[in-house]
Amino acid sequence: MANTNTNELLRSIPAMEELLNTPWASEFITNMGREEVKRIIAEAIDDVRRDLRTGKSSKASVSELTLNRAMTLLNLRISSTLKPVVNATGVVIHTNLGRAPLAEEAIKAVNDLAGSYNTLEYSPEKGGRGGRNAHVEWIICHITGAEAALVVNNNAAAVLLALSVTAAGREVIISAGELVEIGDSFRIPEILTFSGAKMIIVGCTNATRIGDYRNAITENTAALLKVHPSNYQVAGFTASTSREELAELASAKKLLFIEDLGSGLLFPLGVPFAKQEPSVRDCLEAGTGIVTFSGDKLLGGPQIGVIAGPRIFIDRMRSHQLTRALRVDKMTLAAFEATLRMYLAGRQQEIPVIRMIEMDEETVLKKARNLSRRLRQIVKEVENCDFEVEVVEAGGIIGGGAFPTNLLPGHGVGIRSPSRSADNIAAAFRQAATPVIPGIRDGQLILHVRTLLEGDDKIIASAFSEILGIREE
């Protein structure tokens, strides 16, 4: 229903050739090629047409509107959207931000392997086929005490494969308190259904006792399943069944005892509240048959899922059709092997997520002071700048579904301005060339320093300069 006015506006949209010949377009053409730039400008013209027809944004001049839209789209498309960010959220294992940043050695391993042919499935000794899994299996067994191990795409895949192989068409008993959802896409009940196992729920949300499991066992029961509650906690009156009790019951009834441990803790963490957290080895020693866990949570490696347990089951999983669909890429394996070797060498403290989690308060405070000083210096350079920068208390969390209610105490840098809201400043930080992702608390922007990596201070400082309108050479 375009009226004459709209038609006139539509006619005033600049022509493609005109836009392509502007000086700013030539730089994009050099980088992306003329055809691609043309396609993107066409898209921008379509957008503007649509807006004009629906009566949106008819205030600015149409040619300016088109130009701006084209520039925005081109800038968006010229660089990768998958790119590094600065994690100033204080959440160490942040799933949206890619979970665990890799250790130097893991990065080097990927780097060395990615561009060359390699021994992924080749044995130079045999002069023939080798096993993809073999590169890491012995290390996992060595560290955890497992008899055998298999790696797949992630822990969700590990749980799915373990259940598909050991319990399809049969019953799996699980506590009502452990029907967890993790990161809005992994739901234990759905994974169980998908594996072909029949889920038998016992107990109540807050209390499940060993007798509940015992009473539910039939001749069709294949396994008892224990799931780490990860990202939630039941408080108040609670009762859950211990690993030892479940192991004993499973053994007496000749059932398999499977445990989805979630975060793959290999060694105890050096923080007080994590002392009780079982490692993979603890679970296996307490009698768990099969343990599954993630590689990119507390373990600190790449996205991968591990199934550790008796060889007889692991061999069956290895030859299952699903395994082919869930198999791990060479770069992931390279990163994982290098990470595991750091554990073997007793150097796990150097793995970034572990270093961040175990960082003492004094070190965190020092980092906060340094960053604060640096940012205050920038404020001083701007005349009449009303930004206030200060060291504030700011606790971090481990994240990734581990210890959801425990705070890692420490300090961060608070930024406030009477003339700009915290949301507004945060948006500006997020839109920096390398996005800086801050936290916000009580109307104050918080830059958490525990989760900063080397070089991040400099990136934050240059983002801050830009926000304050300082141009850098």
Ligand X SMILES: *Cc1c(COP(=O)(O)O)cnc(C)c1O
Residue 240 makes contact with ligand X by CB under 6 A: no
Q: Which segment (258-266, 283-291, 374-382, 422-430) binds ligand X by CB under 6 A?
A: 258-266
3-class state of residue 265 by DSSP: coil
User: Cα–Cα distance between 114 and 371 in angstroms, integer?
Assistant: 36
For residue 94, the minimal CB distance to ligand X (Å) is: 13
Residue 163 makes contact with ligand X by CB under 6 A: no
Q: Which of 230, 339, 348, 372 binds ligand X (CB under 6 A)?
A: 230
3-class state of residue 415 by DSSP: strand
DSSP single-letter state for residue 274: G
Name the nearest CA neighbour of 43 among 18, 69, 22, 23: 69
Q: Which C-beta is closer to ligand X: that of 87 or that of 230? A: 230
Q: Which of 105, 137, 171, 260 binds ligand X (CB under 6 A)?
A: 260
Instruction: Print the binding letters for residues 394-423 with ligand X: x by CB under 6 A, - otherwise.
Output: -------x----------------------
Q: Which C-beta is closer to ligand X: that of 101 or that of 401? A: 401
CB atoms under 10 Å from CB of 366, counted, come to 13
Q: Which C-beta is closer to ligand X: that of 146 or that of 436? A: 146
For residue 316, the minimal CB distance to ligand X (Å) is: 21
Residue 294 makes contact with ligand X by CB under 6 A: yes
Q: Which C-beta is closer to ligand X: that of 98 or that of 287? A: 98
For residue 163, the minimal CB distance to ligand X (Å) is: 12
- Torsions phi, psi for 181 (to 5 deg): -115, 135
R_g (Cα) of the chain, nearest Å: 27
- Contact between 248 and 198 under an 8 Å Cβ cutoff? The reply is no
Q: Which of residues 136-155 bind ligand X (CB under 6 A)?
A: 154-155
Q: Which C-beta is closer to ligand X: that of 66 or that of 230? A: 230
Structure tokens, 91: 């959440």
Q: Which C-beta is closer to ligand X: that of 195 or that of 263? A: 263
Residue 182 makes contact with ligand X by CB under 6 A: yes
Q: Which C-beta is closer to ligand X: that of 164 or that of 372? A: 164
Across 20-31, b (16+ Cβ under 10 Å) vs e yields beeeebeebbee
Residue 175 makes contact with ligand X by CB under 6 A: no
User: Cα–Cα distance between 353 and 344 in angstroms, integer?
Assistant: 17
Alpha helices in 172-301 (DSSP H): 188-195, 210-216, 243-252, 280-285
